[in-house]
Every structure is written in structure tokens, then in C-alpha cells.
């Protein structure tokens, strides 16, 4: 995770801000049209009506037989900006802002503020919803250049254990650390060590961020050295989450300040797991 003003070849490929809240009533088409008009005014003109599947598994209690798993087909509304590198997603219980052209946290937070003001204006009852969670997430694709190795770019503490005593070729490795940073806040740092296939990337986003509706995807600008990869590369996933146990109404929450509070530890985590060689390479 990095600001492009500091690292011109920054490995950051995806940033996500998300607020989750108590479920709203189903949206009326007039509300969605007002939301679309408002988001067009801040350069999100393309509307995509989509859905996602929510699977529910009920655990048995007191020896009772388990219920059959069920699933729901739920609506989501995606609004995309020109260039296919920014989108806003609205559901009945959350709002997300996703970008792949991150230009620093100040610009990102200002954009979030504009999005939320626009959504509040179109959906005024959202102000009465209760805050559940607020999160900030950064995905960095760490691809060594031809003269580099992954071990030169990230801390050895981040890399999965090599387990050299085991026979065979390494295919995949992962490490995860979760840290409580403050009351009701936790920071998750995850890293996947991946191998290319035929010198090509095999994965660029965590599984839960992979978009299954091609209409709702956004583009990632590839760097030149991604075209032919000789050895392992890495996927760094840093997420900082605030859980609102007191569930205040959204009208009382200063979201920009909340984002700032989540950003600083996330940035510090990024700085702590990359090397001086990486900073030089990405400058």
C-alpha cells in the first residue's frame, strides 16, 4: 500500500473503503434513479443492476438435525466512473468504494466523502441506519522485476515458511496475522506467495474480491515487467476494520475521521513488511 506521489511504481492495485450498516428496506426505483442522477454529478454515470448469492448455513443446536443450507439472491447496484477504474457499489446493508487508480489517501478520502454525501442526499433514510462496521483495505501485487527475487522485496517474517525438509516443488503459500490495534479495531495482514504459469500471473486479487459479474469489474493497469515473470510473486492484503458495538446512527458518524484512523496503522503495516530494496525499486 503506497502513495503514487512517493512510489512511482507502487504495487498497489486495489483500494476499498466499505461501510456496513443495519439493513434498509428494499429500494424503490425512484430512489435508485435519484441516486443515479446524483452519482452522475460526481462522475459515476454508468449504472449496472446486478446481484450476488448469499449462502446461509444453520448450525444444529442441542443435537437437533442440521437444517439444509439455503441461499438468497440479493440485489446490488454498481455505478462506474469513466475509465473503468473506480466504482461505487450500493446494497441494502453496505456501501463500497473501489478504485484501481489510487492517487493517495487524501484524494481517496475526499472521493469517499463526496460519494457518501451523494448517497445520503438520494437515500435520506440511510442516516437512521445503524453503523455495524467500517473498513479500509489495500491490495498490493508484488511482482519482482527480472533482476529481483520476491525475498528481496518483502520481509522474511511475511513469507510463508519454506519447509525445506519436505520433498517436492512449492506451488503456493500463505501467511495471515491479525492484530488488535485499538478497542473495536483489528488489522489483518495476509500474504499469498504465488507461482506464475507459463511466465504469466495466475492470480491478481484475493478470492473474495474477484468479480463474478464482468459488468461490475474494474481495470487494473499492468506494469511492463508483469508480462513475463520468472519466479514467485506475492499478493499483499492489508485490511483495517472498526466494529461499532454501540451501533450509532450513520448521521452521527464522522466517516472521514474514521477512515483517517484506519489508514495510519494500515500504512505503518505496509511500511513494516517491505524492504529498502523494494522502496528503491518502486521509487
**pLDDT value, residue 61:** 66
Number of H helices, E strands in the chain: 5, 9
| pLDDT-derived band at 51, boundaries 50, 70, 90 | very high
Q: What is the mean pLDDT of residues 140-168?
A: 89
Whether the predicted pLDDT of 57 surpasses 70: no
SS (H, E, C) 223-256: CHHHHCCCCCEEEEEEEEEEECCCCCEHHHCCHH
Joined grid coordinates for residue 85:
477504474
**Structure confidence at residue 23 as a pLDDT band (50, 70, 90):** very high
Does 63 score more than 70 pLDDT? no
Output the pLDDT for position 4. Answer: 40
For residues 218-233, average pLDDT: 93
Statement: residue 21 has pLDDT above 50: yes
Rg value, the chain, Cα: 20
Mean pLDDT of 19-43: 97
Question: Which residue is it, cell 488488535?
Answer: 180
Question: Interior CA angle at 120 toward 119 and 122, to 5°?
Answer: 65
**CA–CA distance, 183 with 229 (Å, rounded to integer):** 42
**Average pLDDT of the chain, as a whole number:** 92
Q: Is pLDDT above 70 for 3?
A: no
- The percentage of the chain sitting over the pLDDT mark of 90, rounded to a whole number, equals 82
Question: What is the predicted pLDDT for the residue at 165?
Answer: 72
Amino acid at each position: 500500500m503506497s502513495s503514487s506521489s512517493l512510489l512511482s511504481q507502487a504495487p498497489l492495485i486495489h483500494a476499498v473503503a466499505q461501510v456496513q450498516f443495519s439493513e434498509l428496506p428494499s429500494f424503490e426505483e425512484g430512489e435508485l434513479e435519484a441516486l443515479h442522477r446524483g452519482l452522475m454529478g460526481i462522475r459515476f454515470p454508468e449504472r449496472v443492476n446486478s446481484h450476488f448469492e448469499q449462502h446461509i448455513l444453520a448450525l444444529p443446536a442441542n443435537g437437533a438435525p442440521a437444517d439444509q443450507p439455503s441461499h438468497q439472491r440479493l440485489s446490488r447496484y454498481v455505478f462506474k466512473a469513466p475509465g473503468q477504474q473506480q466504482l461505487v457499489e450500493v446494497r441494502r446493508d453496505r456501501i463500497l468504494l473501489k478504485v484501481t487508480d489510487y492517487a493517495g489517501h487524501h484524494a481517496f478520502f475526499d472521493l469517499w466523502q463526496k460519494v457518501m454525501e451523494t448517497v445520503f442526499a438520494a437515500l435520506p433514510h440511510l442516516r437512521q441506519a445503524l453503523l455495524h462496521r467500517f473498513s479500509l483495505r489495500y491490495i498490493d501485487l508484488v511482482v519482482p522485476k527480472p533482476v529481483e527475487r520476491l525475498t528481496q522485496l518483502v520481509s522474511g517474517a511475511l513469507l510463508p515458511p519454506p519447509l525445506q525438509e519436505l520433498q517436492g516443488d512449492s506451488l503456493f503459500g500463505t501467511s495471515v496475522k491479525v492484530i488488535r490495534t485499538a478497542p473495536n479495531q483489528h488489522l489483518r495482514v495476509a500474504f499469498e506467495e504465488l507461482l506464475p504459469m507459463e511466465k504469466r500471473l495466475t492470480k491478481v486479487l484475493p478470492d473474495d474480491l474477484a468479480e463474478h459479474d464482468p459488468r461490475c469489474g474494474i481495470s487494473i493497469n499492468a506494469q511492463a515487467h508483469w508480462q513475463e515473470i520468472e519466479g514467485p510473486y506475492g499478493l499483499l492484503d492489508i485490511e483495517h476494520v472498526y466494529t461499532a458495538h454501540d451501533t450509532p446512527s450513520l448521521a452521527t458518524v464522522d466517516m472521514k475521521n474514521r477512515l483517517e484512523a484506519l489508514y495510519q496503522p494500515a500504512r505503518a503495516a505496509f511500511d513494516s513488511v517491505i524492504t529498502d530494496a523494494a522502496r528503491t525499486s518502486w521509487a
